[in-house]
Structure 1
Amino acid sequence: MLTSHAENSNPKEMGMHVRLYQAYSGRCHCGKIAFEIESNFPELTTCDCSICRRKNALMVKVHERRFRLLQGQDNLVEYRFHTGTARHFFAEYAGFTRFIAKE
């Protein structure tokens, strides 16, 4: 049986650890693309695609409303492979992956 907690319950009183959202900024290797995310890093995951496996990449899932592209929209190229559902965006000049959007 599932039970729900009142919205005004204090998570710490229920023995839960609360991580607050923080802003993090990043850029591609060539510096032409800049972005910012807000995350509380609930979990890091590994992608099993051939590109990420070769890089041993870790990723954090961020809702699109918590992602902001600050500069470089014109320097992004999109690549889709395998099922074509994930849109991988790369810096056009350096080829560095920075974010992936799923449809």
Structure 2
Amino acid sequence: MANETRRYDGQCHCGAVRFSAEADLAQVISCNCSICSKHGLLLTFVPAERFTLAAGEDALKDYRFNTMRIRHRFCGSCGVETFGEGSMPDGTPVRAVNVRCLDGVDVASLSPAPFDGRSS
């Protein structure tokens, strides 16, 4: 997939949580940390201002572990982690979007870069 930032819509499995994000899917990672590997997450990171939660704030639950810096957000009904909230090293708010939740994206066409989150 060519380097191109565009708007994507996404949702959890049951549709209670819906969002949009402006993302470049040439920038996708496959992290090997314990939660990402167990969930099979493919992630792309977007500045918070390029992410909009369209529906489902009341359906979202949070999970934090290890350093407690990342707020893993998942649907309380279907359990799908749609995105996470955190910040870059400089403090800039960022969203880690689960690419598998983006509508119309063929994840087999992506080339995720490995990320060693297990050692972080």
What interval of TM-score do these two structures reach, taking the shorter chain for normalisation?
0.7 to 0.9
- Kindly state the Cα deviation for residue 48 of structure 1 after the two structures are TM-superposed: 2.7
Q: Does 1:47 align with 2:69?
A: no
4+ runs deviating over 4 angstroms: none
TM-score, scaled relative to structure 2: 0.65
TM-score, scaled relative to structure 1: 0.75
- Kindly state the Cα deviation for residue 55 of structure 1 after the two structures are TM-superposed: 2.9
Higher helix share goes to which structure? 2
SS in 1 for 2:71: strand
Query: Where in structure 2 are there 5+ consecutive unaligned residues?
Result: 88-120
| Contact persistence 2:4–2:26 (CA under 8 A) | no
Write out aligned runs for 1:22-101 (5 A).
22-101=6-85
Choose 1 or 2 for highest CA Rg: 1
CA deviations on 1:23-44 (whole Å, 9 max, x unpaired) are: 1001101110100001122411
Number of corresponding residues: 86
CA deviations on 1:35-91 (whole Å, 9 max, x unpaired) are: 000112241112232121123321111110100000001000111011101100010
Query: Where in structure 1 are there 5+ consecutive unaligned residues?
Result: 1-17
Higher strand share goes to which structure? 2
State, as a whole percentage, how many aligned pairs show the same letter: 35
